[in-house]
Amino acid sequence: MPKFAGSQARAIGAEMRRARDSLEWTLETLAAATDISRSTLSRIETGARRADVGEAASILTALAITGPAKQRLLRLAGEGAGTWVEIGPAMEQQLSAIAAYESEARSISDFQISVVPGLLQTSAYARDLIGTSPLGTASRDRAARTRIARQSALNRPALSDYRAFIDEAALRRRVGADPRTMTDQLRKLVETVQRPGLEVRVVPFSSGAYWGCEGPFTLYDLGSHHVVYQENAGSGVFIEEQAIELYQRVLVNLDRLALDASESNDLLTRYAKRYEHDL
């Protein structure tokens, strides 16, 4: 696993890699166009090295990345490493780092309170959920397609385990006007419980208030380091090594409170039957 230079560095590198691939350029081609060595470019793309503003400008120019996208990446390159917060539309930049972590993580622990985790959503559930946002139709469709496409990360052999802790409130909260949306979504969760390496655990209402119920988060175990991502209605934040232990302790508490796999499966099945009865 390469050295970690921060989530901003990972996002910058992922965007550059995607642009280079779209041009069908090799690292050697980009090195010739920028006068930056192949090894340095490789480390920048993997997030092992943070590009400075001058390097970033040279690479972005060579790759024909212009306008707002270029300005956002240059701003990231100029910011200090560490906790990374974005607000509003700028959160889209963080998706590059999230997708990279999902494709690299050895394990992922997901905790959601009011909705099903994105990596486990059906297409209909994702569309209806994203459809509640003020985004335009094209943006909502693109966001839903992207979310579903990212689920391929769960099929990677290198991903040893994925754990999802879901508050019972997410099962009770109806998404979409058609009861079939919730029925199919809960059936998918039941199927997920049966897959080796994938675990879905429900934190029941009977647990009452508990430590951690204040906010959802995702923890990525990347081998040499860990990263937590928290997303709210209008902001997203990456939290890096210095605060990871707190979130690991929250996960231990969730593991203690949540129903076991069999009990969770039974509860998911009961909720699915409730929605199925409404069809």
Phi, psi at residue 81, to the nearest 5°? -75, 165
Parallel/antiparallel/unpaired status of strands 235-239 and 107-112: unpaired
* pLDDT greater than 50 at residue 1: no
> 224: closest CA among 26, 12, 91, 47?
47
**pLDDT for 275:** 93
Going by C-beta distance under 8 Å and a sequence separation of 6 or more, which residues neighbour residue 42? 27
Query: 163-192 pLDDT, tens per residue?
Result: 999 999 999 999 999 999 999 999 999 998
- H or E element at residue 267: helix 261-277
Most confident of 41-45, 90-94, 100-104, 232-236: 41-45
pLDDT at 205: 97
Question: Is pLDDT at 40 greater than 90 in this prediction?
Answer: yes
Is it the case that residue 5 has pLDDT exceeding 70?
no
Of the candidates 68, 110, 108, which has an alpha carbon nearest to the alpha carbon of residue 89? 68
Count Cβ neighbours within 10 Å for each residue of 88-124 and write b for 16 or more, e otherwise.
eeebebbbbbbbbbbebbebbbbbbbebbbbbbbbeb
Residue 114 · residue 124 · CB < 8 Å:
no
Q: How does DSSP classify residue 203? A: E
